[in-house]
A = this chain, B = another copy of it.
Amino acid sequence: MLGIRPLSGETNNWSVAREACFSPEAEVRSRALELYEEVADLPIVSPHGHLSAALFSGDHDHPTDPASLFVTGDHYVTRLLYAHGVPYEELGVPPRDGAAHERDPRQVWRRFCDRFHLFDGTPTGLWLKLTLVRVFGVDERPSAQNADRLFDRLSEALASAEFAPRQLLKRFAVEHLATTDPATASLDDHAACQAAGFGVVPTFRPDALMQLNDPQWTQQLGVLSERVGFTIDSLAAFVEALRRRRLEFRERGATSSDHGVTSAFVDPLDNDHAAVIFDRARSGQVGPEEAGRFHSHMLFEMAHMATEDGLVMQLHLGSLRNHHQRVMERFGPNMGADVPVAVDLTRGLQPLLNAFGHDQRFRLVVYTLDESTYGRELAPLAGHYPALRLGGPWWFHDSVHGIERYLAATAETAGFHKLAGFVDDARSLPTLRARHDVWRRVTCDWLARLELRGLLDAESAPRLANWLAYGAAKDAFRVPSRAAAAAG
């Protein structure tokens, strides 16, 4: 008797049950559903992700074929297909040197549908299912047999006005969407979005300017100089340029900066020492160790600026980027070959937290891929330092079990009110709401379970469900309410 339908309300077709993601126990499930129904339709606050503002500026559009949108453009998907032996080229990813790659999206889509089982039990598979079923009305599981039919159906939908990016933003009730932008970015697309009434704001991400030994650094410095309108020939000028750009981001609605580093050590240099390194970098004489020390110094400097301009500082810690040299060389970065490493937040963040952790103007949101630090370091730190909030479960851990591990390991020590809510980190617009939906479902299930165990008072669970779904992110990222934002 295998193959029984597991969830109430599900038909023979591919569908999503009302109780999806909830625990199997009837009582938990029932209470979770009550909690969920109160938060399921709340607006989306998305304080960190990788969509482009251009998508909503009116001048652009997303790809109108499902392969580019759901496969080629999503490194969560391509990495797993590659891991099963499908070359990136066959997934439509162009090699940097212009070598041959699949140019027919239908072929890419077929390869994906044929291997849909590889995503069984993964968050990527869950987001895709939720999106295909709920957003696009697909009612059959992708397979080699129906690949062409789905391709046609989805292509038609994507070409229609109903699925244009701005329409999806409305349909998803996105109240606030922060993009991630280099420090040198023009913010014109954000201006266009806002003029049309969309809460799309930039995030200041100066990583490229802080890596002195990156081959592109000098060129990036030139772009920055152009952007601010003065020559950058000293550390002081560099810092001033970044300060100005932060203010411009802030004026354009940014509420935060974002920084990605492998190590957790954020430690300032003596300023003269930093200035010397900067000067030598301009003539290309800086090695990786010094560059790392300078990066660490600049992060401290960023925290200092944050105490002045109030931008919330996000730290994404512990990813070793571009682990696979061959893939990096052939296809570039962000190909799904960044791999986490262990980090030491307790010692690494001590100088930063000692300097600014008590400062009410400062706010720091830390994300880690090293789950062993959740309970050992991050929650104890956040349970003491006023400035610190725990970033939501990041990347690989933004999954049903990942969210549960996150809640289990952080909330008891830091309390729910030090959690920064959910961050979707989305690179694909159609699946954006699904990611929030999974978070909302899993947190409601979690709270229901706590309540039934007598670990939450009955009044607390609904309040916390709302907090985790909506309030925490607004509060942590200092997102103004729409009315205030309109007036501001």
Taking beta carbons and an 8 Å cutoff, which residues of A are in contact with B?
A: 1-7, 14, 16-17, 19-28, 31, 34-35, 38, 79-80, 82-85, 117-123, 126, 141, 320, 323-327, 336-342, 344, 346-347, 350, 353-354, 357-358, 360, 369-372, 375-377, 379-386, 388, 396-397, 399-402, 405, 408-409, 411-418, 449-464
One of B118, B141, B327, B338 near A415 (C-beta < 8 A): B118
User: Are the C-beta atoms of A117 and B377 separated by less than 8 Å?
Assistant: no
| A-B contact list, 17 entries, CB within 8 Å | A3-B458, A20-B453, A21-B453, A24-B452, A80-B414, A117-B463, A120-B416, A121-B412, A121-B415, A336-B384, A341-B347, A342-B342, A342-B376, A371-B372, A375-B402, A399-B413, A401-B408
The residue on B at minimum CB distance from A129 is: B457
One of B3, B35, B379 near A462 (C-beta < 8 A): B3
CA distance A192 to B413 in the complex (A): 37
User: Are the C-beta atoms of B7 and A83 separated by less than 8 Å?
Assistant: no
User: Are the C-beta atoms of A400 and B2 separated by less than 8 Å?
Assistant: no
User: Are the C-beta atoms of A337 and B384 separated by less than 8 Å?
Assistant: yes
| Chain B contacts for A347, CB-based, 8 A | 320, 341
The residue on B at minimum CB distance from A338 is: B380
User: Are the C-beta atoms of B6 and A451 separated by less than 8 Å?
Assistant: yes
User: Are the C-beta atoms of B383 and A336 separated by less than 8 Å?
Assistant: yes
The residue on B at minimum CB distance from A23 is: B453
One of B21, B79, B82, B323 near A350 (C-beta < 8 A): B323
Instruction: Give the residue among A21, A396, A451 with the most B Cβ atoms within 10 A.
Output: A396
CA distance A411 to B323 in the complex (A): 21
User: Are the C-beta atoms of A121 and B342 separated by less than 8 Å?
Assistant: no
User: Are the C-beta atoms of B7 and A80 separated by less than 8 Å?
Assistant: no
| Chain B contacts for A400, CB-based, 8 A | 412, 453, 455
The residue on B at minimum CB distance from A449 is: B24
User: Are the C-beta atoms of A450 and B121 separated by less than 8 Å?
Assistant: yes
A-B interface, 9 closest residue pairs, ranked by CB to CB distance from nearest? A20-B454, A24-B452, A399-B412, A2-B462, A372-B372, A396-B413, A120-B460, A340-B376, A401-B408
